[in-house]
Amino acid sequence: MLGKNEMPIAFPLAAALKKLDLLYALLDTEDHCTLIQKCPNLEVLETRNVIGDRGLEVLARSCKRLKRLRIERGAVEQGMEDEDGVVSQRGLMALAQGCLELEYLAVYVSDITNASLEYIGTHSKNLNDFRLVLLDREETITDLPLDNGVRALLRGCQKLRRFALYLRPGGLTDLGLSYVGRYSQNVRWMLLGYVGESDAGLLEFSKGCLSLQNLELRGCCFSEGALAVAVMQLTALRYLWVQGYRGSQTGRDLLAMTRPYWNIELIPPRRVNVLDPNGEAAVAEHPAHILAYYSLAGPRTDFPNTVIPLYPESLINA
CA angle 85, 88, 92 (to 5 degrees): 110
**pLDDT given at position 84:** 63
- The mean pLDDT value for 270-276 works out to 71
Q: Is there a contact between 42 and 19 (Cβ–Cβ < 8 Å)?
A: yes
Average of per-residue pLDDT values in the chain: 89
Predicted confidence (pLDDT) per residue in 188-225, tens digit = 999 999 999 999 999 999 999 999 999 999 999 999 99
Segment among 7-11, 49-53, 156-160, 247-251 with least mean pLDDT: 247-251
Residue 229 has a pLDDT of: 95
Query: Is the predicted pLDDT of residue 132 greater than 90, yes or no?
Result: yes
CA 213 to chain centre: 16
Q: How confident is the model at residue 299 (pLDDT cuts 50, 70, 90)?
A: confident
CA dist list (Å): 40 to 7, 17, 36, 284, 301? 17, 8, 8, 49, 55
What span, in angstroms and rounded, lies between the C-alpha atoms of 60 and 36?
10
Q: Could you tell me if 189 and 208 are in contact, meaning their C-beta atoms sit under 8 angstroms apart?
A: no
Q: ∠ CA(318), CA(234), CA(70), 5° rounding?
A: 110
CA dihedral 166, 170, 176, 178 (to 10 degrees): 90
Distance (Å, whole) CA 28 – CA 233? 48
Compute the distance between CA of residue 31 and CA of residue 10 in angstroms, rounded to an integer. 12
- Over pLDDT 70: what percentage of the chain? 92
Chain segment 244-272, per-residue pLDDT in tens: 888 776 778 888 898 889 999 988 877 77
Which whole number is the average pLDDT over 231-242?
96
The structural domains of the chain, ordered by start, are 7-315 (3.80.10.10)
Residue 274's CB: how many other CB atoms inside 10 A? Answer: 10
Exposed/middle/buried for residue 181 (C-beta within 10 Å: 0-12, 13-18, 19+): buried
Indicate whether 138 pLDDT > 90.
no
Closest C-alpha to 299, from 313, 309, 312 = 309
| pLDDT confidence bin for 75, thresholds 50/70/90 | low
pLDDT by residue (tens digit) across 76-111? Answer: 444 444 556 799 999 999 999 999 999 999 999 999
Q: Is the pLDDT of residue 280 over 50?
A: yes
88 vs 2, more confident:
88
Q: In angstroms, rounded to a whole number, what is the distance separating the alpha carbons of residues 41 and 14?
A: 9
Q: Which of 15-29, 149-163, 254-268, 273-287 has the lowest mean pLDDT?
A: 273-287
**Confidence (pLDDT) at 206:** 96
Give the DSSP letter string of 92-103: HHHHHHH-TT--
